[in-house]
Structure 1
């Protein structure tokens, strides 16, 4: 296997993977959880990860609602991208009679299990879920990371793969951080492909809109003593170096400067925007919340009738709004699904509303109880 050249993105990715992995391992399979696994009489690595993440949901997120107990509904798969990268995916099929699918995309240095658990609300709303590791992440083939440029091929391959394996009536997409950028970027750049494959709605959590903005935002926090003009020069040098790397790996037609959703909207012909729920926090330290507002405004300017919505919190750590504002976060996603079903006059509308009411009742999403420390914190930071 060809070894990837060292660069800042790969080095950062690998360092963060080690850091986050060590934190995750604190919740590894042991004790009661190990005995739980032995009940399945299986040493399957996926089962171990699921039980570990069940523990994370219980001990760190403190939300038993997010645990996955029906491990028998999980299926490991491998699929391939158009540029020959082998990716590891995971089907979660709790709704066997449903032809609705949610494809969830994880953040930079994350992996498919985070995407799966953050998307649990979709399973409660009647969807089956497909998650996968982007190239260079998790169990997928090692590759150079590009913060979304080549990873868009991974999302296209995932959409194609789900359609090949199952009967699909509609697809929803959910992305977090870099995963959100990829979903937003690809849904415009490859718009016709998305429409042909029945992508009906998108949930975008903590997105950015272009590589230059997010790098400038990030470098401002790291090297604030450097003048603004100098920071811009550093960002441009970095982008140029990444473009050289792309060319050296055979991606002659890709350009880091193309990673700009705002410009892409104005350039695309016959563009049909897909309704999107944007979620962000004003104090996000990794991606600028202004990017989410700017994108929503640009989309509305392009199509005044687009059914986008924004859920913006005052306070929540990057990618962690689901933890801090569990009830508000999930209620909004479920409500967005219902509203889109109503607009599209879905033949399943009655059942979707039943699922929504059941979810609200089971997860108590409409009951923010000040006596509950978690709800009290959410209200104070909302």
Structure 2
């Protein structure tokens, strides 16, 4: 989804110091430091927020060959499923990341996707020293998640209707008849899983929907989950978003929900640039995701990060996009992360 508070590169010692100080303060307040707060099995989407800072769970993006088909799920390379122990979050504050951003001339931190006119090196480089491991670990994690709505929402399947209804109201502001509004022709569901959003949000509003997800078994399950309406799914792409290239000028809406935490800042910036090229006239990109209160927090269990709003807005600007609307999700359980929807163009 602040000025350059994109969480820039810092020395490991400084990072550990900030994390230790935060955990020490939590301990002094009588709070559990490792891991604090309630925690269910790690999962996508909404997730219990530890005290004092939550741990994120957006949905899936990991390496895989890009495959395109029409009407059936393509195959992906397979990895053995594995689970991972919890670990205390590591955090930099927004103020620190802004100071660091202003004081350094930065260079690219990744070669997995060619840089697109922008040299950035972000704090995800420090939180994620092994980028290949970050993506492969997430891919293995998702292979162990059941292909159900409850699995997609980490045990919070009961909030699916609240989520969909809010998303529909948000999205309908930007599509339909009228100047500057997007058409209702074709949408792309990023981190689509089994098609929860495709089925209940996008197919009722658009003629054709494409789906992209890194987990082959989720896309295979989507055919049954979508039922007869699945005939209007144009393409199933089994691919991580860091490698995915949307077809140019195909989409009226690109919907990206609970997945950006599985991308480094560099790859997220580049992916948003590619999404912009995939839009038709008046098309929009919608990002809906967990938002931390302060800085960027790593979850080593599902191999993801959760960004604060300042960092997310900065990435949006670095991608050359304009934030045209921003909305906080209401009526979610108090114990989970705050969730924001951003409309970009």
TM category (shorter chain) comes to 0.3 to 0.5
* Richer in helix (by share): 1
Q: TM-score, normalised by structure 2?
A: 0.35
Larger radius of gyration: 1
Question: Which structure's relative contact order is higher, taking Cα pairs within 8 Å and 6+ residues apart?
Answer: 2
